[in-house]
Amino acid sequence: MKNYTCECGGKMNIEEVEIAEGIKSKGYKCEKCGDVEFTEEQMREALRKKEKSIKTVVTRKLGEIGGSLIIRIPKSVENQMKLKSGKEVNLIVEKNRIIVEPV
Ligand SMILES: [Zn+2]
């Protein structure tokens, strides 16, 4: 196992680090500044764990109001995520998908 040293000079140890809410995966964490780095393999494992954490997929048709596209949120998701009209959400645009994240 290669020994990693952080840019700050601190030693990097393998630890379970939180990659998303409630999801932990192995990565190198600096014991001095807390920076986290992943090897390629650790990154793949982290992404796998993140994908697995997806609990619900709902299919919706896009609608249109005033020339803008809209998506209706099902009641079940509204309740689960404690959403309500007027609440702010972030649209996170990735290569092939859009994630809606309550702020
Ligand atoms: Zn460091």
- β 23-30/63-65 pair status: unpaired
Whole-number Å distance, alpha carbon 50 to ligand 1 midpoint, is 25
Whole-number Å distance, alpha carbon 19 to ligand 1 midpoint, is 18
Q: H or E stretch including 77?
A: helix 75-80
Tens of pLDDT, residue by residue over 31-57, are 999 999 999 999 999 999 988 887 778
Spell out the domain ranges in the chain.
4-52, 63-102
Using alpha carbons only, give the angle 49, 10, 29 rounded to the nearest 5 degrees.
Answer: 10
Does the structural domain 63-102 have CATH classification 1.10.10? Answer: no
d(C-alpha 90, C-alpha 60), whole Å: 19
Whole-number Å distance, alpha carbon 49 to ligand 1 midpoint, is 25
| pLDDT at position 66 over 60 | yes
Inter-residue contact 70 to 89 (CB < 8 Å): no
To the question of pTM greater than 0.75 for the whole model, the response is no
d(C-alpha 33, C-alpha 68), whole Å: 45
Mean pLDDT of 81-93: 93
Ligand 1 ion local residues (Cβ < 5 A): 6, 8, 10, 30, 32-33, 35
